Amino acid sequence: MLLDSSSSSVLTLLALGVAVVALGVAMALALRLSKLNRGYALLESRDGADTFVEVVARNVEAMDDLRDNVGAMRSEIKRLRYELGDAVRHVSVVRYDAFNDLAGRLSFSAAMLDDGANGLVLTSIHARSETRLYIKGVRAGSSDNQLSPEERQAVDVALGQKS
């Protein structure tokens, strides 16, 4: 089967069109391969340095260690908060003149309480000839002994209820 010149020209143009399309596809694939090679080069080791994957793996391991440390710290903080609940953390001193004939606010009431408002009130009353010291226990913000107004004020200020 022989082709006439017009059929031969059409087939030649068709083949040329297919070749141009194939060349375009080949160039597009070469460009894409070049981009992939550049991306892969970032993952490879250079001059004995660690690869990107090794660096990421090391960072993931470090993050896991940090998470474990944070968990341990949270547990320790919780334990310390529990233990500090019984520590004296709320302190207040109220100074006053116990008697009209003495000035200088030499008398005082000092409240020392824990988080449960338990502790003591220490009161020193200063007079011309003597100084007396009293201690009263405090449970849940109140005492079995009646508190003076200054002692009550010291307890309230220590608990942040009054200034």
Number of neighbours of residue 158 by Cβ within 10 angstroms: 25
| Spatial contact of 117 and 154, defined as CB atoms under 8 Å apart | no
Chain segment 23-43, per-residue pLDDT in tens = 999 999 999 999 888 877 777
Per-residue pLDDT at 92 exceeds 80:
yes
Banded model confidence at residue 71, pLDDT cuts 50, 70, 90: very high
Compute the distance between CA of residue 109 and CA of residue 150 in angstroms, rounded to an integer: 6
Residue with tokens 């409240």, as numbered in its chain:
111
pLDDT for residue 133 = 96
Instruction: Give the mean pLDDT of the chain.
Output: 89
Residue with tokens 């003495």, as numbered in its chain:
102
Compute the distance between CA of residue 145 and CA of residue 91 in angstroms, rounded to an integer: 20
Paired tokens of 160? 């942040």
Please tell me the pTM assigned to this model.
Answer: 0.55
Paired tokens of 125? 């009353």
